[in-house]
Structure 1
Amino acid sequence: MNTNINDFIDKICNWKDNFEILRYPSKKNGKDDISIITNYIRENKVQELLDYTKKFYVSEYFSLPHPDNDKVVTYPFASVSIGYCNFLFMTDELQEKPWMLVQAGNFLDCFFTHTGIIYHVNRRSSWLPAVSNLSKLINKEKLKEKLKENNFKKKKTTGILISSNRPYHFFYDQLYVINYISKIYKTNRVYYNDIFWPIQDIINSAEPQKRKSDIKNIYISPKAISQTNFYKNNKLVNKTMTEFEEKCLRSKKTLLQKKFKENQLKIVLNISTEKRKWVEQSDGYSEIINNLSNYFDRLFILFDGMTSQINQPVNTEENIKTYTEILEKIKKSKKIETHIIFGKTYPDKIEYYNDSDLVISPMGSSAIIPLRFTKNNTIQFSNIDMGETVSKSEGDFFVINRELKFTSQEKPKLGNQWQHADYHIPWQHIFNLSVSLINKTKNKEIPLLPIPLNKKEKNIFYLNQKRLKGNNKVEDVLREVALAFERSGNIQLAYELISKAHEIKPNGPLINLKLNEYKQKLDEQ
């Protein structure tokens, strides 16, 4: 095997000591494939990118210019798919300039070059977690052994690989691209590995095939631009994603349509265990259930958690543990009925969600069904503003108020990244948001509960910069200033400001919620 390639593989597996991270230089007038694709990604031109990259899906041979020299044409000599990422090992015909392409959220995310430089195309967050433990993920000795058998002739691309161990990346980094390109051409070169929905329900092609594990096979991952950067204002992405969601739903033969009476309530509670866990969820969910049981003849509580891939069950022990803790804390009453759907697949879970009055869920993969498929009224929460729901049902709220939430000081379990850390949030806040929806849909007048402020966040005046971007309307500014005064402890002034915002925007969900909350606090003083 060529020494350059052998050394390059060693360097990649210990990349933190061998590579400098730089932004790929902007070439506005660049004519090579990498420059054109990079510009489309950075400018969020998804239509142009999909049209341009289709040649890579239909061609028998995949090639790209070298990132350091666009005159040098390179071809893949191996590919490795790990989690939601695809790694393509590239080299020129003389085997002198090896490099590695990483496909994470985008068609191109970053390039590891033989010069010891990592060029990243867009933001780091889409690819950095995937490459953080390459030494553990890639068996370099096995890779080298396999490559010894390869004569490095230009190799045909085996096909398009749909594979992701993360539901969100599976649906919204890959399937919407496949749905789009399958309209343009039919192919019998679609392969799959880790999937959360039967592929044949979605794509217009021959029967998909199970991925061949031989490293000599070359796979391309069907991705365009990581949707979290641009989906809100991109009509094509919204349209394409909605189309494949409708395809998924049409593939279901039946949907449960059980009608509940007015004084009965069906709620789905999503338990998080793997990352971004609500620390108080055991106590919080039990308190929410106990309080709601005072106002209904019957509560039907459905507990959801981990989702299995098709034909590949997932471990649900942590879900069961938390569920058991909740059961021990809720009232022993015949009016409270609980069920679990841990470990079921997405096609199966949709049927359970369909007739729910309310879903309470962490942001992320847990919210895919209620927000994208069944369009339930949903309360969401997280330790960060993920902003990743492309279309929301009318009553959605985001529980991301800093004054009511702070990140746990415990070290994150997944990838040691703080955006994956567990967090605290008062259950009363989630209860109040839920009640604001229930009162509307069930014709109730359930009172709001006082919310205890975290001691760490008392008497702090600041504006939430994430919600104040660009051209803000007057009511938005009034709302944020009101929230800032609430944080500082001045409820009277917060009430006066939110009242002004309410006059301008009487239907604002957060404005209405805070108006009632401040009024109740002032009445109690």
Structure 2
Amino acid sequence: MYNHTTRVIENKMEENFERETVIKNKIHIPRKLPSSLVRKTRSPFWKKLIKSIEKKEAETTLEIVKTIDKQKKFLFLPHPFLEAIDTFAAKSIRQGMCNFIFFYDSSGQNQWILCQCTSFVDAIFSSTYSGKHKSSVNDELLLAAIKRVFKAEDKADAKQCGIEKAIFSGYLLDQTRPYHHFYDQLKWLIHLQTKKPIVSDKSFFAPKYYKRNPSFSKNYPTFSMFPLVIGSNQLGIKLDKYSDQMEKIVYKDSLKDLYGGIINYRWNQAIRTLKQLPAKNKTLTLWFGISGQKRIWVEQEDFLPALVQQLKPWFDSFVFFIDGYTQYECTTNDHPIKGMKQTGISQDLEIVNSIRQKLLPFSNTHIVNLVGQTYRKKIQQCQSVDFFIANAGAGQLTPHRFCKKPGILHSNEKHCVFSMGINNTTVKLVNKSLVNDVGNLFTKGKNIEAKPAGLGFISYSIDVQVIINMTADMLKLKK
């Protein structure tokens, strides 16, 4: 609760702020961002917007952001801390998970910077005050990002040719983490009902009815925004009407892909043919999620051979869709995958190959490798799946959230996304009492000494028999 002690601490932080080093154009970067943004704003527009974010008033915030979206060629917003001063957007710079939009008044003065991360505004930087609101993401992420921006800007100073109004070119739909892409960005892009295009070279998924990467006159600079309202984490990681509509659109739009639809149709026909054979030739089609990076299930490579061995009395053949790293949708030869994304795909492929080798003694198994495919292609393939086993992070998105298949989720002792979506009937989570965390195995082999890590990186051990028993029970396999 906000109290007198909190106010005193924030006042001291603001006093320290005045002693910070001035960084380019009088923008100050404090050592720590105070959470008093709503109190410091003088503009009624910004005060209302920030209050609605802090109070988790999604509908109110959405309507305010819609008014911004409806502005035409250029974007004009009131200065947050100076009364009766209008400012225009001059440029934007993307850095990590943040997007920074630079504003100036008509004389090129009174600069301020809007920082977007998971909500429409997470922080604002200016010469008079820099701070965040009470539900913003952590300081380290925001401050590290803006420091990198100014470091790069200093190197580019020689190329600066004055300050101009920038054309609002469109939305950056390209968060590097799937969860944030869908539930922080795409969810709100859909509900903005915007006519503005998507201007991203890298995006996990975008409905086909959106315009992509338009060309603009070189006479004006351009800027872009994240399509944000209130971050999913700030709303409590709950499934609401906004998420529900987004999931339905992703699912339906994926199945409209004609070429993919033909492939999917033929594959489903083959699966149905197998399933229509006499009972002695019954096939289990299982979606199996793996991870070669963070939150690794240590026994994942041994699970499928053990499952086949124990389910032989009920199934004569098995089709395993092995899912891992997902590719950006608009990756082309002009924008090849590289860096961490390529490393992640390579690590997952090593696991697929290991599982393939361990299944060699079983001639009645077939693997469909989905590592490196797009969400659109994965959703198409998932149509023929009977059951899924996946991690409770982004690994659940295709089978659980988009395709609504029955299955089992697993994770470390503390991490679970969308626990509200687990109904314990068609979708169950492995009981945490049966999970043993083993530490951080991120990007390393499974024999290294466990290291301390955040919840998102902790790997874990679950006896394969636990999940086999759950599978048999949920499939109602009786001896």
3-state SS, counterpart of residue 35 of structure 1: helix
**Residue 478 (structure 2) pairs with residue 445 (structure 1):** yes
Q: How does 1:252-291 map to 2 (within 5 A)?
A: 252-253=257-258, 254=261, 255-256=264-265, 257=268, 258-259=271-272, 260-261=274-275, 263-291=282-310
Determine the C-alpha separation between the residues in 2 that align with 1:115 and 1:232.
Answer: 34
**Contact 2:323-2:370 at 8 Å conserved across structures:** yes
For residue 306 of structure 1, report the CA deviation from its aligned partner: 1.0
1:240 to 239, 245, 270: 245
State which of 298, 308, 327 in structure 2 corresponds to 1:308. Answer: 327
Identity %: 21
- Aligned partner (choices 55, 58, 61) of residue 43 of structure 1: 55
Counterpart of 1:428, as a letter, is Q
Residue 309 of structure 1: how far off its partner (Å): 1.0
Structure 1 residue runs of 5 or longer lacking an equivalent are: 13-17, 447-525
Aligned residue in 1 for 2:315: 296
Residues 8-407 of structure 1: pairs in structure 2 closer than 5 A: 18-26=30-38, 32-59=44-71, 60-69=73-82, 72-93=85-106, 97-114=110-127, 117-124=130-137, 128-129=140-141, 132=144, 138=149, 140-142=151-153, 145=156, 149-182=160-193, 186-187=195-196, 189-199=197-207, 201-203=208-210, 206=211, 208-209=213-214, 216-230=221-235, 235-253=240-258, 254=261, 255-256=264-265, 257=268, 258-259=271-272, 260-261=274-275, 263-293=282-312, 295-312=314-331, 313=337, 315=342, 316-330=345-359, 332-383=361-412, 384-388=414-418, 395-399=426-430, 401-407=431-437
CA contact (8 A) 1:290 1:331 kept: no
Q: Give how far 1:270 is off.
A: 0.9
Pairwise CA RMSD of aligned residues? 3.7
**1:360-385 CA-partner distances (Å, limit 9, x unpaired):** 11122221111222211121122334
Corresponding position of 1:466: none
Distance 1:432 1:249 in 2: 33
SS in 2 for 1:100: strand
Higher relative contact order (CA 8 A, sep 6+): 2
Q: Distance in 1 between matches of 2:180 and 2:64?
A: 22
- CA shift, 1:354, in A, is 1.0
Higher alpha-carbon deviation: 89-98 or 45-54: 89-98
Scaled by the length of structure 1, the TM-score of the pair is 0.70
Task: Report the CA distance between 1:107 and its aligned residue.
Answer: 0.9
Distance in 2 (alpha carbons) for counterparts of 1:181 and 1:373:
21
Q: Is the 8 A contact 1:105 1:225 kept in 2?
A: yes
**Matched length:** 424
**1:471-513 superposed Cα distances (whole Å, 9 cap, x missing partner):** xxxxxxxxxxxxxxxxxxxxxxxxxxxxxxxxxxxxxxxxxxx
CA deviations over 1:448-481 (Å, ceiling 9, x no partner): xxxxxxxxxxxxxxxxxxxxxxxxxxxxxxxxxx
C-alpha distance in 2 between matches for 1:49 and 1:318: 41
Is structure 2 residue 458 aligned with structure 1 residue 422?
yes
Q: How far does residue 93 in structure 1 lie from its aligned partner after superposition?
A: 5.0
Distance 1:280 1:176, change over 3 A: same
Unaligned stretches of 5+ residues in structure 2: 1-20, 332-336, 445-451
Match of 1:432 in 2: 469
How far did 1:132 drift? 4.2
Distance change >3 Å, CA 121–CA 215, structure 1 → 2: farther
Give the drift of 1:118.
Answer: 3.4
SS in 2 for 1:325: helix
1:150 positional shift: 3.6
Q: Which residue identity is paired with 2:137?
A: R
1:250 Cα offset (Å): 4.6
Task: Tell me the alpha carbon deviations over residues 29-83 of structure 1, each in whole angstroms, 9 at most, x when there is no partner.
Answer: 9862222112222222222222111121121333444554455544433311245
Amino acid at match of 2:390: S
* Residue aligned with 1:21, SS: coil
Tell me the SS of whatever aligns to 1:178: helix
- Alignment TM-score, normalising by the size of structure 2: 0.76
Task: Determine if contact 2:293/2:441 at 8 Å carries over to the other structure.
Answer: no
Write the letter of the residue equivalent to 1:166: R
**How far apart are 1:318 and its partner, in Å?**
0.4
Cα shift at 1:275:
2.3
3-state SS of the aligned residue for 1:445? coil
Q: 1:356 to 1:418 in 2, by over 3 A?
A: same
1:20 is paired with a residue whose SS is coil
